[in-house]
Structure 1
Amino acid sequence: MGQAICIMGDVEGDWKTMMEIINEDQPDMVLQVGDFGYWPDRPEYKYSRQMCKNQVPLYFCDGNHEDHKNLRKLCKQHGSSAPIAVGPNIFYMPRGSILTLPDGRKVLFIGGAESVDKRQRTAGYDWFQQELILPEDLSNLPSEDTKVDIVISHSCPLEFQIVPDIYAGIFASDPCRAMLSQVLHKFQPELWYFGHFHHLNGGRYKNCAWSCRPRIGDGPVTYLPRGKK
């Protein structure tokens, strides 16, 4: 039997709810879709009792609400192709990095999204221009002959109809979505999970089944379908 792999929506620093889910469900692994709440210079991140007790490997991509300045520093220090430990059993997955699951399937992580609330935030403190997916991020993607089975991102390609019509104009203007469309057409994954929109939804684009996950605590958690191995 394969591992039980939980797909977790936006955490936004809610370690209590995160650990309640992990302790109750006891998954073997967690893949998280960004807005994890990585603010290492803030005491609530460094000294969270709940997060420090985590015993389950958790891998997250960056959302728009993260400390991108410090994330970029981590990538310079450790490289951008492998998991980077940021806490007990908690790993940041840089944009374009690959995680190979125990059953052999390959998961591509590519975080980033535009903040619709950036005018209410302070540049360099709780908003960073690096939240956007840049051309250099796409240059870090694996080669075209790499088989990508699953994508974990924060935002999503333009091809995915993810929110009610009243929000479509707001999120369609996010330049990151066009970047993710390039990822979609390059790798043609079978599964794609994302968050950002706080809206439970799902669908299919050609051969790719996609799922938009709500914030943790606002809807059900989901599990990755088990592989064939």
Structure 2
Amino acid sequence: MNRVFITGDIHGLIDIHKLPMYFGHKKNLNKQDYLIICGDAGIVWDCQNQDAQVQSILQDLPVTTLFVDGNHENFAALNEYTVEKWHGGKVHFICDDIIHLMRGQVYTIGTQTFFTFGGAHSVDWYQRTEGISWWKEEIPNHLEMQEGQDNLMKMNHKVDYIITHTAPYEVLAEMGMDISDEEEVFSLYLDHIRKIVDFKDWYFGHLHFDEELNNFHCIFENVVELKEI
């Protein structure tokens, strides 16, 4: 049986401390068990010492790390990795036990299915430098969104879990969040997914707090374990 854990943003070294603390108390885990990070992982960022430190910490965990991209990722470097297939969907292998789950993909882990879609808008973009600390690819494009719909159609619009960085439009609105013009089209797309897909639970990060809204789970500090799959 695979065990699957989910957490929110780690922002490279900034918020990664929660992972060794959490997994240091867990027993009977191996690399066939998985941790999913809901974006802003910062695993591929400076392509130098910081990345090496982050990846070393993750490789020392007793699980394989999976992550969707957030808005704070080095997309130019991330997209240099070869696209491969893993458990039914497209991925980038950062290394054997650190895997980027690409946008609009469906993966089967154990007996459960996961639809993933990274990306979001950086509200602090004006303080950042394009190509160094900000990339326009943070917002998904039309082709990625179409691929997501096509893959969901193949699943008859039914998956067990949805993993994203930001949340659907109506979920953000109900949580009292402002929705930027730059992110509106994408959040409305996620809202369309919310309406047409049959799913158990939806996990997302981005907002830097932990909150439950029915079967939508905004996650940041917490690490949660799904039922054994």
Q: TM-score range by the shorter chain?
A: 0.7 to 0.9
CA shift for structure 1 position 173: 6.1
1:144 counterpart = 2:153: yes
Sort the Cα spacing of 1:143 and 1:88 in 2 relative to 1 into closer, same or farther, 3 A: closer
Tell me how far apart the structure 2 counterparts of residues 4 and 52 of structure 1 sit (CA, whole Å).
Answer: 17
1:78 counterpart = 2:86: no
Given residue 192 of structure 2, which amino acid in structure 1 is its aligned partner? Q
2:49 to 43, 49, 67: 43
1:160 to 138, 159, 171: 171
Indicate the structure with greater strand content: 2
Tell me the TM-score normalised to structure 1 length.
0.82
Percent of pairs with identical residues:
24
Tell me how far apart the structure 2 counterparts of residues 223 and 105 of structure 1 sit (CA, whole Å).
Answer: 14
Sort the Cα spacing of 1:158 and 1:191 in 2 relative to 1 into closer, same or farther, 3 A: same
- For 1:223, the equivalent position in structure 2 comes to 225
Report the secondary structure of 2:5's partner residue: strand
- For 2:104, the equivalent position in structure 1 comes to 96
CA shift for structure 1 position 195: 0.3
Tell me how far apart the structure 1 counterparts of residues 218 and 173 of structure 2 sit (CA, whole Å).
Answer: 7
Tell me how far apart the structure 2 counterparts of residues 40 and 33 of structure 1 sit (CA, whole Å).
Answer: 20
Contact (CA 8 Å) 2:106, 2:152: kept in 1 or not?
no
- For 1:32, the equivalent position in structure 2 comes to 37
2:218 to 179, 200, 212: 212
CA shift for structure 1 position 9: 1.0
- For 1:179, the equivalent position in structure 2 comes to 189
RMSD: 2.3
Structure 1 runs (4+) deviating above 4 angstroms are 161-164, 170-173
Report the secondary structure of 2:90's partner residue: coil
Tell me how far apart the structure 2 counterparts of residues 47 and 223 of structure 1 sit (CA, whole Å).
Answer: 25
Contact (CA 8 Å) 1:163, 1:197: kept in 2 or not?
no
Contact (CA 8 Å) 1:60, 1:92: kept in 2 or not?
yes
- For 1:200, the equivalent position in structure 2 comes to 210
- For 2:95, the equivalent position in structure 1 comes to 87
Given residue 127 of structure 2, which amino acid in structure 1 is its aligned partner? Q
Tell me how far apart the structure 2 counterparts of residues 187 and 106 of structure 1 sit (CA, whole Å).
Answer: 12
1:6 counterpart = 2:5: yes
CA shift for structure 1 position 83: 3.0
Q: How does 1:16-31 map to 2 (within 5 A)?
A: 16-26=17-27, 28-31=33-36
Contact (CA 8 Å) 1:98, 1:109: kept in 2 or not?
yes
CA shift for structure 1 position 148: 1.5
Contact (CA 8 Å) 1:133, 1:179: kept in 2 or not?
no
Tell me how far apart the structure 2 counterparts of residues 23 and 35 of structure 1 sit (CA, whole Å).
Answer: 23
Q: Identify unmatched segments of 5+ residues in structure 1.
A: none
CA shift for structure 1 position 163: 7.4
Contact (CA 8 Å) 1:201, 1:211: kept in 2 or not?
yes
CA shift for structure 1 position 161: 4.2
Report the secondary structure of 1:124's partner residue: coil
CA shift for structure 1 position 88: 4.7
CA shift for structure 1 position 62: 0.1
Equivalenced residue count is: 213
Tell me how far apart the structure 2 counterparts of residues 42 and 122 of structure 1 sit (CA, whole Å).
Answer: 18
What whole-Å deviation, never above 9, does each CA across 1:55-103 have from its counterpart, x for those lacking one? Answer: 31111100000011122232xx32573332213511000101222111x
Sort the Cα spacing of 1:35 and 1:224 in 2 relative to 1 into closer, same or farther, 3 A: same
Given residue 201 of structure 1, which amino acid in structure 2 is its aligned partner? E
CA shift for structure 1 position 162: 6.9
Report the secondary structure of 2:80's partner residue: helix
Sort the Cα spacing of 1:59 and 1:91 in 2 relative to 1 into closer, same or farther, 3 A: same
